[in-house]
Amino acid sequence: MTAATRVLREQGKDALQYGPIQGPEAFRQLLVQKLAGEGVAAEKDNLLITVGGSQGIDLVGHLFVDSGDVVIVEAPTFIGALQTFRNLEADLREVPLDSNGMDTDALESLLDSLASEGKRPKLIYTIPTFQNPSGTTLSEPRRQRLLELAQRHGVMILEDDAYGELRFSGEPLRSLYARSPEGGVIQARTFSKILAAGLRLGYVVAPKELMGRLLQLKVDVGTSPFVTAVTTTFSSDGSLAPLERHIERLCGVYRERRDAMLEALSEYAPPGVEWTEPHGGFFTWVTLPEGTDAAALLPKAAEAGVSFIPGAQNFPRSDGRRHLRLSFSFLPPEQLTEGIRRLCGVLQQAL
């Protein structure tokens, strides 16, 4: 509220007008400083401000994908990205995940198989850090191998880094873009997870030679100058300390909530139920015994006062009915514990 009031008082004339399509230079310069702190070598001309991370995914999809083109995704993956690629009429191919993220052996087999058919994918879409919906993180060796495979086959990587700043435990891993800043990686990022989803503020980090083509596709007359000005004012006092302190507080809150959910699952989950243990982000991914349909359990869960996302919709091809996504980001620990107790009661009855 303080930042918004200050912007209206000091910058209202400009902040309430249309802005530059690429985004205000002051905000992009702030992002350059922010990315440098993460080991990402970017300049303001590498950055395009978007309406949330989803617009970034959509713009990159429109840049690369024509009807019938192959797009490789993780299985499971973000529902919104799947819908974007389906809208583009892409030929979606999937690579399974395990506790170390995308299975790069399976990716190599898929790429070789496609090459034998004379097909070269247009994109590999991945959420390597605290993946949505699984919560898993792509391991260090697999990050390097993914880059090598993409380079060998001439495929662009679209790295969705919506959750990477929300680490609660473990050592940070360099992003894919940081490893290949002017090469075969484009990154879509967002402020939705670290400030507020309602701001609808994100950005694309891309090689400079692609920026002109992305700008041609962005026909929204510029992402809100008011929102970018408020975010700039909130985030910086000449340094990035205010934003960094805010993210540190968020990580403490989310760590406590994650721990409450995982402890409740350990206490109440029926035998045969498994789940991931994320080091950050928002989600844990639950796998039920064979033959169980998570979506069929949703009405009973609702009667018990709890909800979840059935996992089937996170798969472009495979049968994901055994899976469900749980989010620990929204509720306080005591409600998460009670919610898991009720959910596991429903699971116990069904199993």
* Domain of residue 82, CATH code: 3.40.640.10
Predicted structure pTM score: 0.94
Cis peptide bond prior to 299, omega within 30° of 0 = no
How far is Cα 146 from Cα 325, in angstroms, rounded to an integer?
Answer: 26
Task: Please tell me whether residues 116 and 174 are part of one structural domain.
Answer: yes
Task: Please tell me whether residues 229 and 247 are part of one structural domain.
Answer: no
Q: What DSSP string runs through 230-272? A: HHHHHH-SSSSHHHHHHHHHHHHHHHHHHHHHHHHHHHHPPTT
Task: Please tell me whether residues 70 and 173 are part of one structural domain.
Answer: yes
Tokens of 283: 């989600």
Q: What is the pLDDT at residue 195?
A: 82
Q: What is the pLDDT at residue 197?
A: 84
Task: Please tell me whether residues 214 and 284 are part of one structural domain.
Answer: no
Q: What is the pLDDT at residue 337?
A: 98
| Structural domain total, the chain | 2
Q: What is the pLDDT at residue 17?
A: 73
Q: What is the pLDDT at residue 20?
A: 83
pLDDT tens per residue across span 111-149: 999 999 999 999 999 999 999 999 999 999 999 999 999
First to last CA, the chain: 49
Q: What is the pLDDT at residue 237?
A: 67
Q: What is the pLDDT at residue 13?
A: 64
Q: What is the pLDDT at residue 240?
A: 82
Residue 202: phi and psi, rounded to 5, are -145, -175
Q: What is the pLDDT at residue 10?
A: 60
SS3 343: helix
Site of tokens 């169980």:
292
How far is Cα 268 from Cα 256, in angstroms, rounded to an integer?
Answer: 18
**How far are the Cα atoms of 10, 32, 70, 147 from residue 156, in angstroms, in the given order?**
42, 23, 12, 9
Task: Please enumerate, as own/partner, the contacts of 266-274 that have beta carbons within 8 Å and a separation of 24 or more.
Answer: 267/341, 268/340, 268/341, 268/344, 268/345, 269/340, 269/344, 269/347, 270/344, 270/347, 270/348, 270/351, 272/351, 273/344, 273/347, 273/351
Site of tokens 């399509």:
21
Task: Please tell me whether residues 329 and 213 are part of one structural domain.
Answer: no
Task: Please tell me whether residues 318 and 209 are part of one structural domain.
Answer: no
Task: Please tell me whether residues 82 and 213 are part of one structural domain.
Answer: yes
Considering 236, 269, 291, which residue would you say is the last residue of a domain? 236
**Amino acid occupying residue 193:** K
Task: Please tell me whether residues 68 and 182 are part of one structural domain.
Answer: yes
Q: Are strands 70-75 and 123-126 parallel, antiparallel or unpaired?
A: parallel
Q: Which domain holds residue 113?
A: 2-236
Task: List the chain pLDDT tens, one digit each, 351 residues.
Answer: 677 677 667 666 676 777 788 999 989 999 999 999 988 989 999 999 999 999 999 999 999 999 999 999 999 999 999 999 999 999 999 999 999 999 999 999 999 999 999 999 999 999 999 999 999 999 999 999 999 999 999 999 999 999 999 999 889 999 999 998 778 999 999 999 988 888 899 999 999 999 999 999 998 888 887 888 788 778 876 668 888 899 999 999 999 999 999 999 999 999 999 999 999 999 999 999 999 999 999 999 999 999 999 999 999 999 999 999 999 999 999 999 999 999 999 999 988
Tokens of 27: 């905000």
Considering 195, 213, 236, which residue would you say is the last residue of a domain? 236
Task: Please tell me whether residues 152 and 15 are part of one structural domain.
Answer: yes
State the CATH number of the domain containing residue 324. Answer: 3.90.1150.10
Q: What is the pLDDT at residue 7?
A: 62
Task: Please tell me whether residues 165 and 26 are part of one structural domain.
Answer: yes
Q: What is the pLDDT at residue 238?
A: 63
